[in-house]
Amino acid sequence: MRIGILTDSADKLPALRACVTGAGHKVAVTGCGLLQRPSAQVDAWVVDASLNLSTAGDFDDWLLDAGVPVFFSDDCSTPGSPEHQAWLRRLTEKLRRLDGALELQRVRPARYIWLLGASTGGPSAVRDFMAQVPIGLDVAFIYAQHIDVGQNRVLAKMLASAGAYRVCTAAEGMVVEPDSLILLDADRQVELQENGTLSFTGGTWAGTYAPSIDQLGNNLAHTWGSHAGLLVFSGMGDDGASASRLLHRRGGQVWVQAPESCIIPSMPDSVLAATQVHRCAPPIALGQAFAESLTTRQMHNERTQHQGS
């Protein structure tokens, strides 16, 4: 994104520039002490709250003419102080989420978001599951497959031919849209925001597994609650067990591939030992049950809305 910066002092520009570039954007224009004319070349503005707006013209009119998001900086701390560093982090995080905020003006997130988790033996099981799930259920899937860095292209090609869902790789600010299957990178940790957009944390997945089913599953439980689900397929280890407990407490659904149908049943076994599972079956049966469950739930929601109107 192209960001404009307005401030009362050139001394503040380096820190503001650092926030913009640290969030992955480009500084398009800067100004000190005076408002700049709103520009079509700017996707958003960062405005220093201490700027003397009374001498800079009619700021209300400027805001109306800007036509893009405006972020206000409220920093009055000493450069290098803990307060200053905390301010930098807050502003950088706001700017990092800018892509998602703008993307939400174009599309809406899915009503339901399910995390698919798998390791050894998972891709073929997920392919069989997805082949049974029709679009139009107002659901999106996020797929965390333990995989080597750089292998997502092969996985995407395999899954694109398996069903009707649009397969893509997670990107900064991406809206988790209905009828989509989003693949996670093994070398970049991502979080789901409460508004249904994805945001990279700037780091890698912590712990043994990458991507981490537990990390994103816990995040999904906090942000999406009863509108979230976790489905754990074949794999070695116990990734997903911790997230399954939290998701269950938050009202979400927890499903697993039947261990006897797995190449390696360790991950489903760990979830079965950790919490109550709502459904356990082979991949094709899971897909059929999922389509039936979401269709029934969708019909119930439509009836409820009709009665309410």
Q: Residue 19: which of 88, 87, 68, 67 has the closest Cα?
A: 88
**How does pLDDT run across 247-273, given as a tens digit for each residue?**
999 999 999 999 999 999 999 999 999
Quick one: pLDDT band at residue 277, thresholds 50, 70, 90? very high
Specify the fold of 2-96.
Answer: Rossmann fold (3.40.50)
Measured between alpha carbons, how far is 226 from 250 in angstroms, rounded to an integer?
Answer: 6
Which DSSP category does 77 fall into?
A: S
Tens-place pLDDT, residues 114-147 = 999 999 999 999 999 999 999 999 999 999 999 8
Two structure tokens written together for 289: 């049950």
pLDDT value at residue 143: 97
Task: Name the token pair of 181.
Answer: 């299957």
pLDDT exceeds 80 at position 105: no
The pTM (predicted TM-score) of the whole model is 0.74
Domains of the chain by residue range: 2-96, 112-308
Nearest-angstrom CA–CA distance, 12 and 16 = 6
Fold matches, 2-96 and 112-308: yes
Q: What crossing angle do the helices spanning 266-274 and 241-249 adopt, rounded to 10°?
A: 40
- The domain covering 112-308 belongs, at the CATH homologous superfamily level, to Methylesterase CheB, C-terminal domain (3.40.50.180)
pLDDT for 224? 95
For residue 225, the tally of other CB atoms under 10 A from its CB is: 13
pLDDT surpassing 70 at residue 76? no
Give the CA-trace dihedral at 240, 246, 250, 254, to 10 degrees.
Answer: 30
pLDDT at residue 300, as a whole number? 58
Quick: pLDDT tens for 148-168.
888 888 899 889 888 899 999
CA 202 → CA 16, 104, 176, 195, 293, distances in Å? 18, 22, 19, 19, 37
Rounded mean pLDDT of 177-182? Answer: 96
Model confidence pLDDT, tens digit, residues 20-59: 888 788 888 887 765 666 665 888 888 876 655 554 455 6
